[in-house]
């Protein structure tokens, strides 16, 4: 079987959806956050495969940007989650409902 | 290369300023750190003067870095806008500094300045990479800004909510960018515009554009991506909320305008109905939810959703007057919203809740603040002679023009939805005024002493609101010139 | 270009308001003096302007134009012709009277006078304005003062509800009208907000009929809400019932005329086709399942024109609201309802689209301005003394308040259309104008004017002024010194002057009203052209 | 025309006097009353001068200025019509009015609001003169209304008495009902003929009698509505008796001599409008009113009410005369009635004053000794009213009966004769009970004659009541309503003219008088209480209660109108305000409250909604 662009895209799409499901379904903030990273990486995979099959490097460059940004995001995000955990002794989303309506 | 750096002189100086402010923290004794903010204000003020004088880096039109960074009337307009916003927010932050004592206030200032840098980049972004990076620069700084009051559980909660949903929207946006690039092979807006017409039928391409719009829709808090706004507005420190309401939203709009009218104008032209529906629902959602709201900041959060709806009305009109109207409206919105948050910051900072009743009797406590809040609310509602009225007037005009041009009755439906929204909003905006002037709940009637900078800020906001309401010529011409950028693309 | 006297008339109150901003709040006498002086000057100037006005002169007089927003064609453009000369005079006099009546305000006077002056200046400017944008803009200036004044200085338990209702209702009307005005601006293609230019442009390039048919209802109902057209009237009695009397005077007297003036000034001359063509096209019954209706009903529906609809609605004002007024127990509510009922006659005059009807309508507008101000000033005086306007608690007040009582009696008589007062001249003119167009509706209107009006006004007099004086009102004091009497005397005198010599006004109104009627009725032959154009293009760009 | 300015002065002097009194002299009772009296007396003098100079039929009969001008279609003039009709009315209004003004000076002497009273009187005089002089419909309507309001003010003069306030209100509203028809009629006539000027209209009707087309009868009857209201004809007659709440001079001036006659005057002025059908209706309404009022008068006990019903009855006569195409008899009777009815009222006023404001005739009695002058003047008035030859009432009433007979309308003729008998009966019932018999109360035994300022006008009016039929008044009206055939000249001829012209009418009239007088003498000469109720039973109760018209109206029209108002008010409050606005308001509020439950505060819900939103947008765009 020849592995073409569609397959890579399909994998990337599946990864993206898995990430999405993780965000929606999992209760733990850290897991949710990891699912988000999964979604970003799905985008990266798509970019890289487009890059490979279109013979253009712009996509690869963009991936570097994304990885960098994601790293920054993770740094801030994890710090936040940790601060919250310290405060509440919990990293579950159900506990975060002091503001509503 | 040297000339390229000249083009981004303002951005570079702003980033430099951010670093300086952060470092200043080390050398300034703790009790005087709030004054570091005035240093930032001074520098930003100078930059603003340069830009107004016409010899700043941003007033040299052209594009650099392979066309990914562009200086044109539109970016000029927004850069001035962001500078003014940041200056006023720094004033508010300085007044609010005693509530931010857990972290160092200087860091807070520098984060604001970094967010400003992101916004300045956003104003000039002309390709998807720049778009992504500037958006992320803004968003990530805001994660910190929102949850700055670490000891407040609400602030952390708001921070986490903003973080997760922000990251979610970024993921969508990135995926969208990937799809766009994958189908067209272009990242630059100008280049994309040339070919976008050919991909009008490609669902993958359209999906990509839509996903990018999802990311931007998140920033401007348009329906159905508005869900985060009330919680984050409520939980964040007041200066952050103010900057979020003005700067972040405006950055979203400038990018939205660029993507819709610079990058994919041919696709956008098909999406009138989509934009009409989104705009209408956003207006109704924001106004209806605000109706029973008692928490002031949350109220302004909902109100900010509805204003995103009004602004989208200008987008939906798909014409130059609509785009100019958006810019004008945003300019008015800047002074109006900051006036409101200034009062909230000053009056409610010592209260645990931000309930409207905290404003009771404000007319006796501080007539200036009461007047500022009144003018802000009235301008938000869009009543002459204030800025909000002229903005809404321009928006409605553009929609009517679109309606008469296209014979699309949807526009009239949208206009009447907007009217309904305005009338609904009068109820809660005027409710605030009522509380200040004749509420019976007033218990604490101590006079509020105002510092000189606070007074200056209040007066700047008031004068700005009146200026934009009474003498629209200058800004309107600027907005028209900025909107003319898109006319070139269409041709 | 020299500054027009109109700019001064509208400008003095605004300037005074700005000056008051910096006057310390405990200098009460000075605050009052400034306010009174400013409105007095503008009233005197208005009288001077009225006297200098040359009836029938071509075009506008006392014109002034300053470009404002070039890119949109907005300019500050003021001027008078017969249509607004009387309204400005009335507005300035009422503003002066209202300022004098504000002596009854005892708390937060500074704010009150500032708001009052802004409101006065704004509405005078709106009447003088010949630019669509400023016309609307200056009128809307009054919205916030109205809201705050009623809210802060209003009275009664329903204050909050009434305050919000009046504010929301009025904004709704204003916004609908705004959409209409903008649509007019866009559709006219003249790219200017200048009213005379739009009218001129519309003469040579009439708007397509379907566009006119779309814009006209927007203006009609938008302005109609502002004028408390039935069934959008319920804000008026309620709002005036709780408002402090100077606010009610200005609002009921002057501001309410804005919508009517707008209809005459803008809607009639620019949208003549909307007035003469049927609202529903014959294809209506293809789209909507009303085929089962009897043939004559279908015929009636297909021949419905906007003036006819307006005439039908004004029956609601005259009869329905008249009946409602009959049942009121509170004097202010009664006056408020009667003021709504009076709007019906004005609408009837406008709907008749005849010179007589429109002139009569403007005459009533002026007359009712004085009258409404007078009645609300009087009820305010009584309220100040008694703390209640519940008619069952009052009675026999003529004994203690000979001056106020007499004035109230005269006002009530003017209100039920007694000759000698300007209202009669206007109403009878409207009846003559409307008789040939809508005989049946005029007949009904007569019932409202003569019988229902008579019933509720005499009931009010019977309950308030006649009968034995209850013990508790023995301490009441009549308006004693000249300043207290002046506003009432001034308003009464104005009513009488125009009642005795209505030609003072009608001679000024007629030439310009004639032009409008000509615009509406003459181009019947030009209609065919427009219809063809409409069929071809659908919408003009 | 000489002295053209005089009619204007006559008209406006009273207005000036009213204004001066109101503005400046409200505190000085005497000055005010003198100003007012001066104005009307000057008016009388000027009228006489004017008539002397121009005769009763001036060559140019109109003088006008423009009041409202709308070019061709509508010109409303403020003009004066000067012909025999109006000049004669001028004489009556200023003459009788002047006498009443002087009388009021004495009658109202004690009242603290005398100045206000005279201001109102002057206002009334102005309005009445306006009606008389009006040369067009609108001007007549203007003064019509002004008369209505001055009558309102005067009836409610003692406003602290609830009954006075109510009566004033009732009079005003009832009049307004008539005016409603009147104005509608005016509009209709204007719409069809395009003019408002009486002269022009008359010319138009004469050249083309069918000018009004099918609406002729309706238009005429609508105009007649005005007269029905003002002249208190059935079915709007109910206000006049209540109007007696006003001071007695007011009753004399307004509700006997002048205002109520305005309806008849207006009918004569606009006689050209009425089709035979319309005249028929007018005649029967007049006749019915006359009968109805006479019957009611028989069982009233209030001295002023009896005279008021008598007035109603006499007005019915006049209207009937107009309806029988006899404007001259109508105006003739109007003139003589003005004399003797004013006389009766003023005499009654004198009695009331003497009785210290007691008005029940069963509290009086035997007053002829205590008040001799009043007794004599009252007697003359009563005889004139009853139509005893050769007093004025005989001639005018006879000319009406003669008209009915001449028109072969025997039904109305018989009714007329019957009423003549009834008139005598109730008049002398009153007369005997008041002036004969025993004193029936303490007040009656302490009664006293009134002062000269009161009795002098009585004497003057008595003279005119006596000779009014013989001084050629009827002839003056012939200028306006010429008749064929020669006029009998000379005093003696005039004295016996009726017996020559229509002997049946004259003789039957006198017979009715005799029967009425005898019946009254028999029943009431010595009576201490009313013997009639016992004899008539239910009929008497009905008569006493005015045939329950007030109750009937209260139960039907007023209740229905109030009922509609209540229903409408309910609709306004609950449907429009409650449901309409309430639903919009509540609905908006509720939807806001519902909608914000989307903001659950749960991050995961938010994420879900976010994704749902994305899917929605994607579906919206990409579904095709």
Q: Is C459 on the interface with D (CB under 8 A)?
A: yes
Checking C467-471 for CB contacts under 8 A at 24+ apart, the result is C467/C395, C467/C396, C467/D159, C467/D160, C467/D162, C467/D165, C468/C395, C468/C396, C468/D160, C468/D162, C469/C395, C469/C396, C469/C397, C469/C399, C469/C400, C469/D160, C470/C393, C470/C394, C470/C395, C470/C396
DSSP C76: E
Kindly report the nearest CA distance between residue A21 and chain B, in angstroms: 12
Whole-Å CA distances, A92 to A18, A32, B231, C102, C212:
20, 10, 17, 62, 61
> Complex ipTM, two decimals?
0.91
The pLDDT of residue B102 is 63
Tell how far CA C367 is from the center of its chain.
10
B144 neighbourhood in chain A, CB within 8 Å: 76
Whole-Å CA distances, D267 to D140, D221, D223, D261, D282:
12, 10, 8, 10, 10
* Interface contact D602-A101, CB threshold 8 A: no
Per residue in A88-98, pLDDT tens? 888 888 888 88
Range with the poorest average pLDDT among B50-54, B337-341, C314-318, D8-12:
B50-54
* Alpha helix positions (H), B407-451: 409-438
Helix/strand/coil for C476: coil
The mean pLDDT of chain D is 87
Kindly report the nearest CA distance between residue D185 and chain B, in angstroms: 47
* Interface contact D603-A27, CB threshold 8 A: no
Q: Is A47 on the interface with B (CB under 8 A)?
A: yes
Q: Is D584 on the interface with C (CB under 8 A)?
A: no
Q: Among D129, D111, D18, D1, which residue's Cα sits nearest to residue D62?
A: D1
Q: CA-nearest residue of chain C to B408?
A: C539
Q: Which two structure tokens, joined as six digits, stand for D310?
A: 């008598």
Range with the poorest average pLDDT among A68-77, C233-242, C374-383, D246-255:
D246-255
- D589, D598, D620 ranked by CB distance to B274: nearest: D620
C168 neighbourhood in chain B, CB within 8 Å: 423, 426-427
**Which of B147, B161, B227 is the best residue to mutate to test the D interface, defined by the most D CB atoms within 10 Å of its own CB?**
B227
Helix/strand/coil for B63: strand
Q: Is the distance from CB of D153 to CB of D168 less than 8 angstroms?
A: yes
C178 neighbourhood in chain B, CB within 8 Å: 393, 396
* Range A60-88 average pLDDT: 91
Kindly report the nearest CA distance between residue B267 and chain D, in angstroms: 11
Q: CA-nearest residue of chain C to B385?
A: C141
The pLDDT of residue C375 is 94
- B129, B156, B179 ranked by CB distance to A80: nearest: B156
- D592, D609, D617 ranked by CB distance to B227: nearest: D609
B274 neighbourhood in chain D, CB within 8 Å: 617, 620-621
- D588, D614, D621 ranked by CB distance to B291: nearest: D588
The pLDDT of residue C396 is 83
Per residue in C448-501, pLDDT tens? 999 999 999 999 999 888 888 888 888 888 877 888 899 999 999 999 999 999
Q: In DSSP terms, which residues pair with D228 in a beta bridge?
A: none
The answer to pTM > 0.95 is no
The pLDDT of residue B57 is 65
CATH architecture of A5-98: Orthogonal Bundle (1.10)
The pLDDT of residue C413 is 92
- D597, D602, D611 ranked by CB distance to A93: nearest: D602
Highest mean pLDDT among B56-60, B312-316, C271-275, C297-301: B312-316
Residue B1: is its pLDDT beyond 50? Answer: no
Q: Among C92, C21, C101, which residue's Cα sits nearest to residue C50?
A: C92
The pLDDT of residue D488 is 54
* Interface contact C137-B434, CB threshold 8 A: no
Helix/strand/coil for B219: helix
Q: CA-nearest residue of chain A to D595?
A: A101
Considering its fold, how many domains does chain C have in total?
Answer: 1
Q: How confident is the model at residue B56 (pLDDT cuts 50, 70, 90)?
A: low
- B378, B396, B438 ranked by CB distance to C144: nearest: B378
Residue B400: is its pLDDT beyond 50? Answer: yes
CB pairs under 8 A between A and D: 33
* Interface contact A76-B163, CB threshold 8 A: yes
Q: CA-nearest residue of chain B to C541?
A: B405
Q: Among A68, A47, A67, which residue's Cα sits nearest to residue A59?
A: A47
Residue C37: is its pLDDT beyond 50? Answer: yes
- In this structure, the number of other CB atoms found within 10 A of the CB of residue C458 comes to 25
* Interface contact D617-B278, CB threshold 8 A: yes
Q: CA-nearest residue of chain D to A100?
A: D601
* Interface contact C137-B477, CB threshold 8 A: no
* Range D482-510 average pLDDT: 73
* B contact set with D (CB within 8 A): 160-161, 164-165, 168-169, 172, 203, 206-207, 210-211, 213-214, 218, 223-225, 227-228, 230-231, 271, 274, 277-278, 285, 287-293, 302, 424
Per residue in C171-195, pLDDT tens? 999 999 999 999 999 998 888 999 9
Q: Which two structure tokens, joined as six digits, stand for D127?
A: 């309005």
C141 neighbourhood in chain B, CB within 8 Å: 384-385
Q: Is the distance from CB of B132 to CB of B177 less than 8 angstroms?
A: yes
The pLDDT of residue D288 is 93
The string over B445-472, giving b where at least 16 C-beta atoms fall within 10 Å of a residue's C-beta and e elsewhere, is eeebebeebbeebbebbbebbbbbbeeb
* Range C102-119 average pLDDT: 90
* Interface contact B416-C179, CB threshold 8 A: yes
DSSP C470: P
Range with the poorest average pLDDT among B59-63, B100-104, D374-378:
B100-104
Per residue in B367-387, pLDDT tens? 899 999 999 999 999 998 899
Q: Is B430 on the interface with C (CB under 8 A)?
A: yes
B415 neighbourhood in chain C, CB within 8 Å: 179
Q: Do chains C and D touch (3 or more CB pairs under 8 A)?
A: yes
Q: How confident is the model at residue D543 (pLDDT cuts 50, 70, 90)?
A: confident
How far is the C-alpha of B233 from the C-alpha of B157, rounded, in Å? 11
How far is the C-alpha of B377 from the C-alpha of C167, rounded, in Å? 14
A94 neighbourhood in chain D, CB within 8 Å: 602, 604
* Interface contact A69-B160, CB threshold 8 A: no
Q: Is the distance from CB of B276 to CB of B413 less than 8 angstroms?
A: yes
Kindly report the nearest CA distance between residue C504 and chain B, in angstroms: 35
Q: Among D362, D215, D206, D208, which residue's Cα sits nearest to residue D272?
A: D206
Burial of D581 (0-12, 13-18, 19+ CB in 10 A): middle
DSSP D486: P
Q: Among B244, B428, B295, which residue's Cα sits nearest to residue D601?
A: B295
The pLDDT of residue C524 is 52
Kindly report the nearest CA distance between residue B449 and chain C, in angstroms: 18
Q: How confident is the model at residue C519 (pLDDT cuts 50, 70, 90)?
A: confident
Do β-strands D74-81 and C61-69 pair in parallel, antiparallel, or remain unpaired? Answer: unpaired
* Look-up of token digits 């503001």: A99
Q: Is the distance from CB of D426 to CB of D310 less than 8 angstroms?
A: yes
CB pairs under 8 A between B and D: 81
Q: Do chains A and C touch (3 or more CB pairs under 8 A)?
A: no
D599 neighbourhood in chain B, CB within 8 Å: 227, 230-231, 289
Residue B31: is its pLDDT beyond 80? Answer: no
The pLDDT of residue D208 is 84
Q: CA-nearest residue of chain A to D594?
A: A101
Q: Which two structure tokens, joined as six digits, stand for C264?
A: 């005459």
Residue B488: is its pLDDT beyond 70? Answer: no
CB pairs under 8 A between A and B: 119
Q: Is D70 on the interface with B (CB under 8 A)?
A: no
Q: CA-nearest residue of chain B to D606?
A: B227
Kindly report the nearest CA distance between residue D623 and chain A, in angstroms: 19
Residue C531: is its pLDDT beyond 60? Answer: no
% of chain B at pLDDT higher than 90: 66
**Which of D599, D601, D610, D612 is the best residue to mutate to test the A interface, defined by the most A CB atoms within 10 Å of its own CB?**
D601
Q: CA-nearest residue of chain C to B405?
A: C541
* Interface contact B291-D599, CB threshold 8 A: no
Q: CA-nearest residue of chain B to D612?
A: B224
Per residue in D385-427, pLDDT tens? 988 888 888 888 888 888 888 888 889 999 999 999 999 999 9
């Amino acid at each position: 079987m020849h592995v073409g662009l569609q397959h890579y895209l399909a994998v990337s799409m599946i990864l993206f959806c898995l990430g999405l499901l993780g965000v929606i379904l999992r209760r733990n903030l850290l897991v949710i956050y990891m699912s988000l990273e999964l979604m970003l990486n799905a985008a990266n995979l798509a970019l890289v495969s487009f890059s490979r099959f279109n013979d253009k490097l712009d996509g690869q460059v963009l991936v570097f940007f994304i990885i960098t940004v994601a790293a920054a995001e993770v740094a801030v995000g994890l710090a936040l989650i940790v601060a919250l955990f310290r405060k509440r002794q919990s990293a579950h989303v159900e506990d975060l409902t002091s503001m509503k309506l | 290369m040297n000339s390229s750096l000249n083009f981004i002189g303002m951005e570079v100086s702003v980033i430099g300023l951010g670093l300086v402010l952060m470092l200043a923290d080390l050398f300034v004794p703790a009790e005087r750190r709030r004054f570091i903010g005035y240093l930032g204000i001074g520098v930003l003020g100078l930059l603003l003067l340069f830009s107004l004088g016409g010899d700043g880096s941003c007033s040299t039109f052209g594009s650099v870095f392979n066309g990914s960074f562009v200086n044109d009337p539109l970016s000029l307009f927004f850069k001035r806008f962001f500078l003014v916003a940041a200056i006023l927010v720094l004033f508010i932050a300085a007044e609010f500094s005693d509530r931010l004592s857990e972290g160092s206030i200087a860091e807070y200032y520098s984060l604001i300045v970094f967010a400003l840098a992101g916004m300045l980049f956003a104003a000039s972004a002309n390709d998807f990479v720049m778009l992504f990076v500037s958006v992320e620069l803004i968003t990530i700084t805001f994660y910190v800004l929102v949850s700055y009051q670490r000891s407040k559980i609400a602030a952390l909660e708001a921070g986490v909510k903003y973080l997760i949903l922000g990251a979610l929207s970024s993921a969508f946006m990135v995926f969208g960018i990937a799809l766009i690039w994958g189908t067209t092979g272009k990242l630059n807006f100008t280049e994309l515009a040339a070919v976008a017409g050919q991909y009008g039928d490609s669902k993958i391409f359209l999906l990509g554009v839509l996903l990018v719009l999802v990311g931007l829709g998140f920033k401007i808090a348009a329906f159905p991506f508005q869900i985060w706004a009330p919680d984050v507005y409520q939980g964040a420190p007041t200066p952050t909320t103010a900057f979020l309401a003005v700067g972040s939203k405006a950055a979203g709009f400038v990018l939205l305008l660029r993507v819709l009218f610079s990058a994919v104008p041919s696709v956008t032209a098909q999406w009138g109905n989509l934009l009409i529906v989104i705009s209408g629902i956003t207006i109704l959602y924001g106004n209806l939810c605000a109706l029973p709201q008692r928490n002031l900041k949350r109220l302004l959060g909902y109100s900010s959703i509805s204003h995103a709806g009004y602004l989208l009305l200008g987008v939906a009109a798909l014409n130059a007057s609509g785009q100019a109207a958006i810019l004008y409206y945003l300019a008015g919105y800047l002074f109006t919203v900051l006036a409101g948050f200034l009062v909230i910051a000053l009056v409610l900072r010592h209260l645990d809740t931000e309930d409207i009743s905290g404003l009771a009797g404000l007319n006796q406590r501080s007539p200036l603040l009461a007047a500022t809040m009144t003018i802000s609310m009235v301008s938000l509602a869009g009543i002459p002679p204030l800025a909000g009225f002229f903005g809404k007037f321009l928006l409605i005009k553009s929609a009517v023009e679109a309606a008469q041009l296209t014979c699309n009755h949807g526009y009239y439906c949208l206009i009447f939805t907007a009217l309904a929204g305005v009338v609904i909003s009068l109820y809660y905006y005027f409710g605030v005024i009522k509380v200040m002037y004749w509420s019976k709940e007033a218990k604490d009637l101590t006079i509020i002493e105002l510092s000189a900078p606070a007074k200056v800020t209040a007066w700047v906001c008031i004068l700005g609101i009146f200026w934009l309401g009474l003498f629209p010529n200058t800004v309107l011409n600027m907005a028209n010139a900025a909107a003319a950028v898109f006319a070139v693309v269409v041709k | 270009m020299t500054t027009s006297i109109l700019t001064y008339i509208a400008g003095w109150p605004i300037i005074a308001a700005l000056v008051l901003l910096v006057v310390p709040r405990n200098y009460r006498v000075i605050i009052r003096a400034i306010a009174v002086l400013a409105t007095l000057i503008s009233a005197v100037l208005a009288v001077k302007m009225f006297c200098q006005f040359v009836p029938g002169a071509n075009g506008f007089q006392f014109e002034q134009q300053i470009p404002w927003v070039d890119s949109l064609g907005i300019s500050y453009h003021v001027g008078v012709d017969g249509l607004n000369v009387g309204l400005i005079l009335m507005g300035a006099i009422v503003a002066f009277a209202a300022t004098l009546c504000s002596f009854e305000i005892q708390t937060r006077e500074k704010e009150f006078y500032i708001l009052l002056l802004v409101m006065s200046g704004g509405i005078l400017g709106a009447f003088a304005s010949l630019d669509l944008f400023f016309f609307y803009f200056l009128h809307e200036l009054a919205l916030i003062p109205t809201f705050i004044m009623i809210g802060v200085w209003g009275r009664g338990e329903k204050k909050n509800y009434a305050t919000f209702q009046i504010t929301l209702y009025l904004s709704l009307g204003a916004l609908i009208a705004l959409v209409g005005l903008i649509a007019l601006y866009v559709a006219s293609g003249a790219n200017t907000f200048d009213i005379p230019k739009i009218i001129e442009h519309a003469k040579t390039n009439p708007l397509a009929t379907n566009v006119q048919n779309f814009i006209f209802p927007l203006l009609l109902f938008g302005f109609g809400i502002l004028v408390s057209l039935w069934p959008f009237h319920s804000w008026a009695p309620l709002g005036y019932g709780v408002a402090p009397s100077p606010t009610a005077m200005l609002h009921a007297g002057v501001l309410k005329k804005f919508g009517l003036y707008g209809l005459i000034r803008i809607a009639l001359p620019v949208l003549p086709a909307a007035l003469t063509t049927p609202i529903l096209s014959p294809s209506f019954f293809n789209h909507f399942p009303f085929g089962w209706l009897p043939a004559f009903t279908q015929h009636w529906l297909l021949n419905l024109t906007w003036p006819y609809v307006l005439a039908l609605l004004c029956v609601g004002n005259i009869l329905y609201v008249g009946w409602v007024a009959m049942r009121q127990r509170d004097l202010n509510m009664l006056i408020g309802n009667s003021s709504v009922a009076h709007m019906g006659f004005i609408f009837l005059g406008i709907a008749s689209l005849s010179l007589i009807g429109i002139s009569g309508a403007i005459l009533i507008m002026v007359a009712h301005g004085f009258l409404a101000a007078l009645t609300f000033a009087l009820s305010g005086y009584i309220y100040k003394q008694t703390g209640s306007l519940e008619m069952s608690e009052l009675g026999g007040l003529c004994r203690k308040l000979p001056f106020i009582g007499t004035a109230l009696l005269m006002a009530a008589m003017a209100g039920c259309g007694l000759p000698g007062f300007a209202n009669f001249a206007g109403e009878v003119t409207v009846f003559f104008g409307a008789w040939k167009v809508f005989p049946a509706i005029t007949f009904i209107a007569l019932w409202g004017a003569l019988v229902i009006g008579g019933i509720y006004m005499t009931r009010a007099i019977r309950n308030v002024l006649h009968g034995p004086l209850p013990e508790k009102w023995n301490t009441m004091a009549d308006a004693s010194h000249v300043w207290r009497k002046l506003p009432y005397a001034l308003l009464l005198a104005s009513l009488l002057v125009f009642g005795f010599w209505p030609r003072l006004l009608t001679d000024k109104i007629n030439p310009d009203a004639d032009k409008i009627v000509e615009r509406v009725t003459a181009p019947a032959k030009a209609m065919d052209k427009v219809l063809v154009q409409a069929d071809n293009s659908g919408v003009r760009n | 025309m000489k002295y053209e300015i005089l009619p204007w002065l006559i008209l406006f002097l009273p207005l000036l006097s009213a204004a001066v009194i109101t503005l400046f002299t409200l505190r000085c009772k005497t000055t005010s009353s003198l100003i007012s009296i001066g104005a009307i007396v000057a008016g009388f003098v000027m009228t006489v001068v004017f008539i002397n100079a121009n005769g009763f039929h001036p060559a140019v009969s109109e003088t006008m200025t423009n009041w409202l001008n709308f070019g061709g279609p509508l010109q409303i003039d403020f003009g004066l019509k000067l012909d025999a009709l109006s000049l004669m009315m001028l004489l009556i209004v200023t003459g009788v009015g002047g006498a009443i003004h002087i009388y009021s000076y004495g009658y109202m002497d004690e009242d603290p609001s005398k100045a206000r009273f005279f201001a109102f009187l002057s206002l009334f005089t102005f309005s009445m003169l306006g009606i008389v002089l009006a040369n067009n419909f609108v001007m007549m309507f203007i003064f019509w209304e002004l008369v209505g309001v001055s009558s309102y003010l005067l009836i409610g003069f003692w406003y602290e008495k609830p009954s006075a306030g109510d009566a004033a209100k009732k009079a005003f509203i009832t009049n307004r009902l008539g005016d409603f028809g009147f104005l509608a009629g005016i509009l209709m006539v204007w719409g069809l003929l395009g003019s408002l000027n009486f002269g022009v209209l008359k010319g138009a009707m004469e050249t083309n009698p069918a000018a009004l087309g099918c609406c002729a009868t309706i238009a005429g009857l609508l105009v007649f509505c005005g007269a029905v209201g003002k002249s208190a004809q059935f079915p709007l007659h109910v206000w006049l008796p209540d109007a007696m709440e006003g001071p007695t001079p007011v009753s004399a001036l307004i509700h006997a001599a002048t205002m109520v006659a305005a309806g008849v005057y207006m009918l004569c002025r606009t006689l050209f409008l009425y089709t035979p059908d319309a005249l028929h209706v007018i005649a029967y309404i007049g006749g019915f009113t006359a009968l109805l009022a006479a019957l009611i008068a028989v069982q009233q006990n209030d001295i002023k009410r009896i005279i008021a019903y008598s007035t109603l009855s006499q007005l019915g006569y006049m209207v009937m005369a107009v309806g029988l195409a006899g404007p001259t008899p109508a105006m003739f009777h109007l003139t003589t009635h003005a004399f003797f009815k004013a006389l009766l009222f003023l005499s009654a006023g004198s009695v009331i004053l003497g009785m210290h404001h007691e008005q029940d005739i069963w509290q009086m009695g035997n007053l002829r000794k205590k008040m001799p002058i009043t007794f004599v003047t009252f007697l003359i008035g009563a005889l004139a009213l009853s139509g005893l030859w050769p007093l004025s009432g005989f001639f005018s009433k006879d000319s009406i009966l003669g008209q009915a007979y001449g028109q072969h309308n025997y039904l109305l003729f018989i009714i007329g004769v019957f009423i003549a008998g009834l008139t005598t009966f109730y008049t002398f019932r009153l007369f005997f009970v008041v002036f004969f018999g025993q004193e029936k109360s303490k007040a009656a035994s302490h009664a006293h004659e009134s002062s000269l300022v009161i009795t002098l006008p009585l004497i003057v009016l008595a003279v005119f009541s006596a000779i009014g039929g013989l001084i050629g008044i009827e002839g003056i009206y012939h200028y306006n309503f010429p008749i064929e055939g020669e006029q009998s000249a000379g005093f003696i001829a005039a004295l016996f003219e009726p017996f020559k012209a229509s002997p049946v009418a004259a003789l039957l009239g006198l017979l009715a008088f005799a029967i009425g007088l005898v019946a009254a003498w028999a029943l009431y000469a010595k009576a201490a209480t009313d013997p009639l109720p016992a004899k008539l039973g239910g009929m008497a109760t009905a008569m006493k209660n005015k045939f329950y018209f007030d109750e009937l109206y209260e139960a039907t029209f007023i209740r229905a109108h109030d009922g509609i108002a209540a229903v409408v008010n309910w609709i306004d409050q609950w449907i429009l305000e409650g449901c309409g606005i309430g639903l919009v308001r509540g609905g908006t509020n509720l939807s806001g409250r519902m909608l914000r439950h989307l903001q659950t505060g749960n991050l995961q819900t938010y994420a879900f909604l976010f994704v749902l939103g994305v899917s929605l947008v994607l579906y919206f765009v990409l579904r095709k």
